[in-house]
Amino acid sequence: MTMLPFVQLAQFREIRPHVRFAHYTEFPMKVPSRYLFDHEIILVERGRGTVFTELGAFPYGERSLLMIPPGVLHSFKDDPDASLGHAHRAIHFDWEPQAVDGLLHIVGDREGPIYRDELPSEAAKLASLWLPNMVRIDGASEETVALVEQVVEAFRQDGPLRKLELQALFLRLLFVLSRQLQDGYVVCAPLTDRKTGRPRDRSDITKYILRMHDAVGQTPVTDDILNQWQETVFFSAPHFHRLFKEQTGFTPHEYFTKLRMEKGAKLLLSTDLLVQEVAYACGYEDSRYFSRLFRKHEGVSPNPYRRVFLHRD
């Protein structure tokens, strides 16, 4: 099974999701053709129906979970004869905070088939790196259902810690979905087919990133890995650097430095090594240069960092 991009990206890139809106309704989903400006997760709790995309008509039912990216034209039509009624929960969110007005744009006035020429040109510019295509996950787990309920409830509440609780719950939901998809506990079906570059390219970048992690595990660390990317990936340098930054949010040098600083932080808290020895283990002969980099990344120099987190006088 192909790993969804957000599961792959989450291994190496920080996620700062922002929940923009969340709600629960017992009305049937009867939605004319539309596209979103953000992402949406819909959990169907009762009822069944059909979602239409440019690839065709796809059924959904109880415990179907739909993940919808921005800029994808789609339409919903619940089955009016559902004997158990209708109910669903929806969460609108951004993977990272975005300054975007509005949640969605209605294109048509009917539910039903979607045609490629209906999609406005501005919608095509809303492609998502994290989730390029709409997917359906069937058989959402009890844990997933409970977390979706908690996110919707937290959004409705008011209080000084509301934002913190909302983000914590939503991060937990993303973690559970990622873990279950990675372990094959649930399977997703793509409902659209946006082209976002070759999966092989992203896989090669992932392999190189894993080699960087292995290199940082050595003592002392060397810079050799930064000149060895062509042993793992087989495309041009500009293409490599663009994909690497898309996948990690950093240039290769920035990411490797970040890994070395993380190693330094672990050594400071788990060993009695002097700062000079920690610097050497991380690949820096000049401990003062290491200390400057460490302060830039952690906000405090190595010795104060150790005192603060180990409560040493």
Contact (Cβ atoms closer than 8 angstroms) between residue 103 and residue 37:
yes
Q: For residue 137, what are its two tokens?
A: 């996950």
Ranges 3-12, 28-37, 215-224, 275-284, most confident: 275-284
Q: Tell me whether the CATH fold assigned to 5-190 matches the one assigned to 199-310.
A: no
pTM for the structure as a whole: 0.72
Residue 109's pLDDT is 60
Residue 196's pLDDT is 57
Residue 110's pLDDT is 66
Residue 208's pLDDT is 85
List pLDDT tens digits, range 90-122: 999 998 766 556 666 656 666 666 666 667 777
List pLDDT tens digits, range 177-203: 999 998 989 889 999 887 655 555 666
| Ramachandran bin of 65, using left for φ above 0, alpha for ψ from -120 to 50, beta for the remaining angles | beta
Tell me the pLDDT band of 204, cut-offs 50, 70 and 90: confident
Largest CA distance in the chain: 73
Residue 101's pLDDT is 60
Place domain 199-310 in its CATH homologous superfamily: Homeodomain-like (1.10.10.60)
Domain boundaries defined on the chain: 5-190, 199-310
Contact (Cβ atoms closer than 8 angstroms) between residue 23 and residue 147:
no
Q: Is residue 1 predicted with pLDDT exceeding 60?
A: no
Q: Is residue 247 predicted with pLDDT exceeding 80?
A: no
Residue 207's pLDDT is 80
CATH number of 5-190: 2.60.120.280
Tell me the pLDDT band of 131, cut-offs 50, 70 and 90: confident
Q: CB-based burial of residue 164 (10 Å sphere; 0-12 exposed, 13-18 middle, 19+ buried)?
A: exposed
Tell me the pLDDT band of 272, cut-offs 50, 70 and 90: very high
% of the chain residues with pLDDT over 70: 87
